[in-house]
Each structure stands twice: as C-alpha cells, then as structure tokens.
Amino acid sequence: MIFTASAVTFVKCFNVISRDVVTQQVFVYLRRSGETNSVLFASTILDQYQRDRLIGADDALSLSEGDTIEAETTTASAVDFWISGGIA
C-alpha cells in the first residue's frame, strides 16, 4: 500500500520513477474502502531512470476516506512514487 486517504481526497498528479538498471513493470491498483478486491488502475513499463505520469494536470482521481492506492513492481525498492493533490 502506498497511500490511504484519511478524508475525501483528490489526486491531481501521480508519477512513477525507476531508479534501477533493470526494466521495471509497474501495476497500480485502487481499493475502495470496505471492498476486498483491488481494481487495476494503471500499468506502465519503465526503463532505467524513466518516469511516467499516471495522472496529470488535466485529470483527477477522487478518493473517499479509507480508499487505498496499492502498487506492484518488478523490484519494489527500485521504483519511487510521487503523489500530490488535496483534501476536499
């Protein structure tokens, strides 16, 4: 789990950055509060030092209290996640 909403939250920017020489496959999941299953939100493949913006300035992801963003990568310690937004 990389983020849990503590209130109604709007994610306005979500970047993933690879810091490894090995190509990284990244899967990002959204789990709504009270649900047992996660839904695939985005996926990307990153080469060394490559960055991908999964949510940009023209997009927004609305989260309710208790919603979580989860991720799976080829090498967990090789990918950084950068999330920004605001609380409603």
Decide if pLDDT at 76 tops 90. Answer: no
Q: Report if pTM > 0.85.
A: yes
- The SS3 assignment for 76 reads helix
Q: What are phi and psi of 52, to 5 degrees?
A: -135, 135
Yes or no: say if 14 and 54 are a contact pair by the CB < 8 Å rule: yes
Yes or no: say if 20 and 75 are a contact pair by the CB < 8 Å rule: yes
Q: Which fold has domain 3-87?
A: Hypothetical Protein Tm1070; Chain: A (2.60.290)
Domain residue extents for the chain:
3-87
Decide if pLDDT at 58 tops 90. Answer: no
The string of pLDDT tens digits covering residues 3-55 is: 999 999 999 999 999 999 999 999 999 999 999 899 999 999 999 999 999 99
Residue 10, amino acid = F
39, two tokens? 């839904």
pLDDT at 47: 95
pLDDT band with cut points at 50, 70 and 90 for residue 88 = confident
